[in-house]
């Protein structure tokens, strides 16, 4: 073994306290970044997952002007012929008022978002139907699924009860219709339709006097990574229409932008943690250099050049960095594995979307390794500045 | 051959200047054992540090094998120390993280060559074959000093500089170390310059240089 590496290793391993301290500093720095990533990136990805699952699909098609006038049937049939597309479904939204009579008392809920869905296609393209915890999804023109929050506001409306929905059509005329509650929906983290009422899209079209229109088409892909090419293909295929096609992140940009800034801030804190580790390494390496002053003097007296001394202590930094990066990555992967296997959730509701981001994992390990070496440079340089005759006076 | 001429070392400046050495001149021929003696604070260790290129003189020249060492660069000094000089210190100054064998091999490795065999041979010569795989802090003071002697000789230097090599040892061990140094010097034809405050300990040597108040006041040939 290269004598400088051997010497670095021996000097380091004979100072177990310093070695453990330095490795722990690096390990904790990496672990903080991994934990941050699992929790906050997992939360972000969970939001994106749920927004895509309930609201936008992998691609959301809408119209620049207002409503999509083109037949939803022809659009959906065109879309599902694309190999990457699993399913597509039209949606129509409005806002209205709901009333329920319980024990002779009328309970009213105003400003209620109402979503019209196609029961046949919606279950293929979205996951909203899976959030129906009580009863079943919309299955006919006069059934309605109430979000759990809405049901509560309506005095605890239950499956089978009759709800009157009142909304204003395109001509400004108030329309009302009675629905039977077929189910109550409750989603983890409230990302689904917990605050809305879901009805059949054709019924909603009738009530709004908007026959044959939709305000969006949700497209579900078999490979979400193909979203951009499919989006571009769709836009190219309808050059004369005013369609907008957006990926889930583009469609949800407004709500995700703030989240992303938050994650960037949290990551920054993680990297500050790593910088603190680097300062700890500088301190520990300085202690190691001070503890080896006599040895440095001896080495210089028997012919070691300043460069040799520099290399010995940089090797020490590399050993600390390599072990610390390895241990930190292992600890981080252990935490990620735990989070994934236990289906860790935020606030006991929203299940985190835990992924192994190998690029980020290796980037963090390499950055930490490099930072440890950089942190070792100054103490190593200080070691080379010791005069042999002075250094050997140290006992 | 070592030639020291007009060697002066001044610490500090102006009124605070301290003349540790003032114009020291002497010559040491190849194969000689030379003692440098003097009372405490006389400047003998300073002189040895100058010869050993551990410190730079204020004035004067030190020629070793014809090379003026006072004009060498930092890198040149390191190479020169490695190839031409051997050191034996009062405290053995072994690197405690390494074994005895690794300590002896270290000058070879720093120089980028040499074999483990030569280190083993030297350790056998100083009687440490059975201790060579022990860590340096696990052997006695006498054994550590023997290892230091082997380390000082491993590169077959032009000159070995010993600074109070028995200063930290009991009288019995000291005698053994003195005998070892003298026997190695004779066996290898090795030049030794030894700083000591106790000339009696070393018995017959080739020459004794006495340093007093920073000057070489006496250069006495002892052996014929």
Query: A307 to chain B: nearest residue by CA?
Result: B75
pLDDT of residue A256: 86
Locate the DSSP E strands across A212-317: 216-221, 243-247
- Write out the two tokens for B101: 């064998």
pLDDT of residue B224: 41
Gap from B223 CA to chain A (nearest CA, Å)? 31
Note whether B78 contacts A300, CB cutoff 8 Å.
Answer: yes
- Mark residue B214 as left, alpha or beta (left: phi above 0; alpha: psi -120 to 50; beta: remaining): left
CA angle A113, A199, A72 (to 5 degrees): 100
Confidence of residue B217 (pLDDT cuts 50, 70, 90): confident
Q: Choose, out of B95, B105, B152, the residue to mutate when testing the contact with A (most A CBs < 10 Å).
A: B95
Residue B223 has pLDDT above 70, yes or no: no
Gap from B222 CA to chain A (nearest CA, Å)? 30
Closest Cβ–Cβ partner in A298, A303, A389 for B95:
A298
pLDDT of residue B187: 85
- Total-model pTM: 0.78
pLDDT tens figures, B74-112: 889 999 999 999 999 888 889 999 999 999 999 999 998
- Write out the two tokens for A109: 């809920």
Query: A303 to chain B: nearest residue by CA?
Result: B82
Is the Cα dihedral A228, A234, A240, A243 positive or negative? negative
pLDDT of residue A231: 96
Confidence of residue B220 (pLDDT cuts 50, 70, 90): low
Tell me the pLDDT of chain A (395 aa) as tens digits. 688 999 999 999 998 999 999 999 999 999 999 998 999 989 899 988 999 999 999 999 999 988 999 999 999 999 999 999 999 999 999 999 999 988 788 898 888 999 999 999 999 999 999 999 889 999 999 999 999 999 999 988 889 999 999 999 999 999 999 999 999 999 987 888 999 999 999 999 999 999 999 999 999 999 999 999 999 999 999 999 999 999 999 998 888 888 888 888 888 888 888 888 888 999 998 998 888 888 898 999 999 999 999 999 999 999 999 999 999 999 999 999 999 999 998 777 788 999 999 999 999 999 999 999 999 999 999 888 888 877 776 55
Q: Is B168 on the interface with A (CB under 8 A)?
A: no
CATH T-level assignment (fold) for domain B2-221: Rossmann fold (3.40.50)
pLDDT of residue A203: 96
- The whole-angstrom separation of Cα A97 and Cα A113 is 9
Beta bridge partners of A62: A244
Say what percent of chain B tops pLDDT 70. 97
Beta bridge partners of A286: none
Note whether B82 contacts A302, CB cutoff 8 Å.
Answer: yes
Note whether A302 contacts B81, CB cutoff 8 Å.
Answer: yes
- The whole-angstrom separation of Cα B215 and Cα B19 is 10
Q: By C-alpha distance, which of A2, A25, A44, A1 is closest to A317?
A: A25
pLDDT tens figures, A243-278: 999 999 999 888 888 888 888 888 888 888 888 888
Note whether A388 contacts B109, CB cutoff 8 Å.
Answer: no
Write b or e for each residue in A244-282: b if 16 or more Cβ atoms lie within 10 A of its Cβ, otherwise e: bbbbbebbbeeebeeeeeebeebbeebbebbeebbebbb
Residue B126 has pLDDT above 50, yes or no: yes
Note whether A6 contacts B95, CB cutoff 8 Å.
Answer: no
Note whether B97 contacts A395, CB cutoff 8 Å.
Answer: no
Note which residues in 219-258 of chain A have CB less than 8 A from chain B: none
- The whole-angstrom separation of Cα B211 and Cα B198 is 13
Note whether B110 contacts A392, CB cutoff 8 Å.
Answer: no
């Amino acid at each position: 073994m290269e004598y400088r590496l051997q010497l670095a290793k021996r000097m380091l391993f004979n100072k177990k306290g310093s070695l453990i301290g330095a490795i722990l500093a690096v390990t904790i720095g990496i672990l903080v970044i991994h934990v941050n990533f699992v929790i906050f990136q997992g939360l972000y990805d969970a939001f994106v997952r749920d927004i895509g699952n309930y609201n936008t699909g992998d691609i959301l098609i809408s119209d620049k002007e207002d409503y999509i006038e083109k037949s939803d049937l022809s659009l959906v049939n065109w879309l599902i012929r694309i190999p990457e597309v699993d399913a597509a479904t039209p949606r129509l939204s409005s806002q209205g008022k709901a009333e329920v009579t319980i024990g002779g008392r009328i309970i009213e809920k105003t400003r209620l978002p109402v979503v019209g869905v196609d029961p046949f296609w919606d279950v293929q393209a979205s996951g909203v139907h899976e959030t129906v915890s009580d009863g079943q999804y919309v299955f006919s023109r006069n059934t309605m699924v109430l979000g759990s929050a809405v049901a509560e506001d309506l005095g605890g409306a239950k499956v089978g009860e009759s709800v009157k929905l009142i909304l204003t059509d395109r001509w400004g005329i108030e329309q009302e219709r009675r629905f039977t509650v077929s189910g109550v929906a409750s989603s983890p983290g409230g990302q689904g339709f917990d605050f809305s009422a879901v009805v059949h899209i054709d019924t909603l079209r009738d009530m709004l006097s908007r026959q044959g229109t939709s305000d969006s088409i949700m497209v579900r892909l078999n490979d979400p990574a193909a979203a951009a090419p499919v989006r571009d293909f769709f836009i190219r295929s309808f050059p004369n229409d005013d369609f907008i096609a957006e990926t889930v992140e583009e469609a949800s940009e407004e709500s995700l932008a703030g989240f992303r800034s938050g994650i960037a801030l949290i990551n920054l804190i993680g990297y500050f943690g790593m910088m603190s580790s680097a300062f700890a390494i500088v301190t520990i390496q300085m202690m190691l250099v001070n503890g080896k002053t006599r040895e440095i003097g001896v080495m210089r007296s028997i012919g070691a050049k300043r460069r040799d001394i520099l290399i010995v202590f940089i090797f020490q930094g590399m050993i600390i960095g390599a072990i610390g990066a390895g241990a930190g990555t292992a600890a981080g992967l252990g935490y990620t594995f735990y989070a994934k296997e236990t289906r860790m959730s935020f606030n006991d509701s929203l299940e985190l979307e835990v992924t192994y981001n190998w690029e980020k994992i290796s980037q963090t390990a390499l950055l930490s390794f490099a930072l440890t070496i950089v942190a070792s440079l100054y103490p190593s340089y200080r070691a080379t500045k010791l005069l042999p005759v002075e250094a050997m006076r140290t006992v | 051959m070592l030639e020291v001429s007009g060697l002066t070392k001044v610490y500090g400046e102006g009124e605070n200047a301290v003349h540790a050495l003032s114009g020291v001149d002497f010559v040491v021929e190849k194969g000689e054992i030379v003692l440098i003696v003097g009372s405490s604070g006389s400047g003998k260790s300073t002189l040895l540090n100058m010869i050993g290129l551990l410190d730079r003189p204020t004035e004067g020249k030190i020629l070793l094998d014809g090379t003026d060492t006072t004009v060498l660069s930092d890198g040149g000094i390191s190479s020169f120390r490695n190839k031409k000089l051997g050191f034996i210190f009062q405290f053995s100054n072994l690197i405690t993280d390494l074994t005895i064998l690794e300590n002896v091999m270290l000058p070879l490795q720093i120089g980028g060559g040499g074999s483990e065999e030569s280190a083993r041979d030297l350790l056998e010569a100083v009687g440490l074959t059975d201790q060579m795989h022990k860590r340096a802090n696990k052997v006695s003071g006498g054994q550590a000093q023997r290892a230091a002697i082997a380390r000082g000789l491993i590169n077959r230097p032009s000159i070995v500089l010993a600074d109070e090599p028995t200063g930290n040892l009991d009288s019995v061990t000291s005698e053994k170390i003195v005998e070892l140094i003298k026997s190695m010097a004779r066996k290898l034809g090795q030049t030794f310059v030894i700083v000591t405050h106790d000339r009696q300990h070393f018995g017959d040597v080739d020459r004794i240089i006495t340093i007093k108040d920073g000057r070489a006041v006496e250069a006495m040939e002892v052996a014929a």
